[in-house]
A and B are shown apart, each in its own frame.
Chain A
Amino acid sequence: MTLSFILPAIGVLSGLGLLFGILLAYASKRFEVEVDPRTKEIKDALPGLNCAICGFTGCASFADAVVGDEVEITGCTAGGADVAHRLAAIMGLEAPDVEPQKAYVQCGGGIKEVARRFEYVGYADCHLANQVGGGPSACGYGCLGYGSCVPSCPYGLIKINEDGLPEIFLEDCTGCGACVEACPRGVIALLSEKNTPIIACISQDPGKVVRKACSVGCIACKICERVCPQEAISMEGNLAVIDHEKCDNCGICVEKCPTKCILTRQLAVMAAASQQRAV
C-alpha cells in the first residue's frame, strides 16, 4: 500500500490552516475592539461559578457591568465580603463595609419531631409539596424536607440530613442568599456570625396548635422573654424573636425553653442537632 497520499494531505491541511490563520490574524487586528484591562482583572477576582445570583448572565457580564459602572461592587453576593474587597482594590474604590453573613436554618422540625397530615405522593420538591393543601407537614410554617434548597447553593454546601432538615456547611458559606430565595417557606435566613442563640422556629401558630404539630416548636409561653437579663427577646405574634445586637450569649433562654426550641449557635449548625437536645 503506497503512502503517497500522506504528503499531499499534510500539505493541503497545513496550507489551509496557514491561509485561514493569516486571514484571521489580519481580521483580528482590523476589527479590534477596545477592552478595558480592568475587566479581565475583575473577572479573575470573581468566583467564576456563573451562578447568576447577581442577576447578570455570568461572571463575564458582571465584570463588564462593574467596569461600566452599572452595578455596585457588592453585587456579587456569592463572592461575599472577600470578593467585594478585591473588586474595591481593582476599581480603586474604598473597601465596602460589608458585614459577613451566613445562612442558618430556623427550624428544628424534622421527621422525628413533626407529625404528617397526609402522605404526599409527588415529585420530591418543596415548592410542589407546599402547594398541595399547604404541605404534608402538620406545621404550616416549617421545613418540608424535600430539599429544594440543596441545588440552589452555588457551592453545593447544603445537604438534607437523616432527620429531613437541611445542614449547611457554614465555613464556605458566603451569604449569597440563594437558599433563602429557594425555600418556599422562608425557613433559611441570613444572620451575622455573632455567637448568639437561634430560635429554631418560625411558626406563627398559637401554642396549642404547635404542641400538637411539633415537639420542638415555639409555643409562645414567653418564658424566654421574661428570663432574658438583656431584654433581648420579644414576642412577634406567637413567635419569640431574639435581638442579636442586645444578646450577650448568656444562654439562660436556651436552658429555660420548655420545648428546647432555642439552640446555641453551635448546636444550630451541628449535624443532627435535634438528636442533641435533652428531651
Chain B
Amino acid sequence: MPEQSLFFLLISSALINNFVLIRFLGLCPFMGISRHLDTSIGMGLAVTFVMTISGAISWIINEYVLIPLDLNFLRTIAFVLVIASLVQLVELVLHKASPGLYQALGIFLPLITTNCAVLGVALLNIQELHSFVESMVFSVGAAVGWTLAIIIFAGIRQRQELVDMPPVLRGFSSAFISVGLLSIAFFGFSGFLSTS
C-alpha cells in the first residue's frame, strides 16, 4: 500500500473513487439538476461549499466533542444536524445574493441536506481515520469530483436535447444510459491504483 500522500488522496477522492460515478452517492441532485450547464455549475459550487465546510466541522465535532464524551453513537445525527444547518445557511445567503440561481435550483437546494454524498464524505473521513488536514483534502477532492462529474454530464445532456431521438429514449432514459457509460469511463481511472 503506497504511502498516502495528500495529493494521492485528492486524486483518489476526485477521480479514482469519484463520489457520484464510482461510489454512486448523491445521485438525486445529480440527475435532477444536470439538464442545464449553468445551474449545474451553481449546484456544484453549492455542494462544494457544503461538503468542505461540513466535512471540517463534522470532523472537529467528532474529535473534540463526541470521542472525548464517548458518544460515538450520536455521530450520524450530529453530522446531519451540521449539514442541515449549513444548507439552510447556504439557502439564506443564496436567496439574497443570487435569487436567479436560488429559483433555478429550486427544491434541489434543500435536498443537498439529504444528499448522501455530503453525509458520506463526513462519515468516510471518520471511517478512514483521517487527520484534520487529510479530511479537508478528502472533502475538497470529493466535492471537486462531484462538481466535475455534474458539469461533464450537463454538457452531455445539453447536447442530447438537440439530437433527434426516439421518444422512448428522451429525457431520463437516455440520461441514465449516458451516466452509466460515463461511469464505465471513469472506472478507467482505477488503473492508477496499483502496479502489482
Contacts and interface: CB of A to CB of B under 8 A. Distances in A.
Interface in A67-89: none
A33 B91 CA distance: 12
A275 interface: no
Contacts of B78: 12-13, 16
Interface in A156-201: none
Task: Classify the interface of chain A: helix, strand, loop or mixed.
Answer: helix
A17 to B, nearest CB: 7
Given A5-B70, A5-B71, A57 B106 contact: yes
Given A24-B89, A28-B92, A31-B92, A13 B70 contact: no
Nearest to A29: B92
A3 interface: no
B93 interface: yes
B106 A27 contact: no
B165 interface: no
A27 B66 contact: no
B14 to A, nearest CB: 29
B95 interface: yes
Interface size class of A (residues with CB under 8 A): 10 to 19
Interface string B70-99: 110010011001100100110011011101
Task: Classify the interface of chain B: helix, strand, loop or mixed.
Answer: helix
B81 A17 contact: yes
B71 A8 contact: yes
Given A8-B71, A9-B71, A9-B74, A27 B93 contact: yes
Nearest to A131: B167
A13 B88 contact: no
A166 B20 CA distance: 45
B85 A12 contact: no
A12 B89 contact: no
B163 interface: no
A23 interface: yes
A23 B92 CA distance: 12
Interface in B92-120: 92-93, 95-97, 99, 103, 106
Interface of A: 5, 8-9, 12-13, 16-17, 20, 23-24, 27-28, 31-33, 57, 61
Interface of B: 61, 65-66, 69-71, 74, 77-78, 81-82, 85, 88-89, 92-93, 95-97, 99, 103, 106
